[in-house]
Amino acid sequence: MNFIFDIGNVLVDFKPVIFLRSLFTDNTLIEKINDIVFKSPEWLKMDHGLLSRDEATEIFCSRFPEYTPSIHRTMQGINYIFTPIAKSIELLPKIKDSGHGLYYLSNMQIEIRDYLLENHKYFKLFDGGVFSCDIHKIKPAPEIYRHLINEYRLDPAESIFFDDMPENIAAAEKEGIKGILFTTVQCVKPYI
């Protein structure tokens, strides 16, 4: 069996508002920066690998010059938003030791991809995976699932995908991959 994991909110936490609260105390500012950065079309362009972090920062600052210092502070700390979910990470060696294939499939920006691969050693356990920024497609586009399947010659019927977003699960199932909505590690354990 092939285990395919999303990364954000499955293997690492991705909670923008909590991150912003670690930087700022003003709730109005937190809400505004969340809208400017994390809810922007530029965020999706970064996930597509079509816009760098520096380019996005420049756009945000030109659009909202009055928030320039807060935007810079946010963008400079973005890598640290991704903190490992210990219970999820603990499952990875067990999956490998059980003889299963181990893959990731994640919407991710270039700079964050590089940071995660360099600083999170558990990525060495994976047999491979796809980051959206590398192929310019994001979930739930069918092409990203097909790319993973074709690149690693996986049998969709022998693959399970864990993701925290229902639309991404539905898209995987359209490609013949069993999808499991990730809420806790208990979702994974029955399949190991």
- How does pLDDT run across 91-137, given as a tens digit for each residue? 999 999 999 999 999 999 999 999 999 999 999 999 999 999 999 99
- How does pLDDT run across 133-165, given as a tens digit for each residue? 999 999 999 999 999 999 999 999 999 999 999
Mean residue pLDDT across the chain: 97
Q: Do 58 and 104 sit in the same domain of this protein?
A: no
Q: Do 105 and 169 sit in the same domain of this protein?
A: yes
What is the reported pTM?
0.94
Q: Do 87 and 177 sit in the same domain of this protein?
A: yes
Burial of 99 (0-12, 13-18, 19+ CB in 10 A): exposed
CA dihedral 149, 165, 161, 14 (to 10 degrees): 100
Q: Do 6 and 49 sit in the same domain of this protein?
A: no
Overall domain count for the chain: 2
Q: Do 137 and 185 sit in the same domain of this protein?
A: yes
Distance CA 16, CA 100 (A): 33
- pLDDT confidence tier of residue 30, bands split at 50, 70 and 90: very high
Boundary-marking domain end, from 81, 100, 117: 81
Q: Domain span at residue 59?
A: 16-81
Boundary-marking domain end, from 35, 57, 81: 81
Boundary-marking domain end, from 50, 66, 81: 81
Question: In this structure, what CATH number is given to the domain that contains residue 99?
Answer: 3.40.50.1000
Helix (H) or strand (E) holding 58: helix 53-63
User: If DSSP codes are grouped into helix, strand and coil, which group holds residue 29?
Assistant: helix
Length of the chain: 192
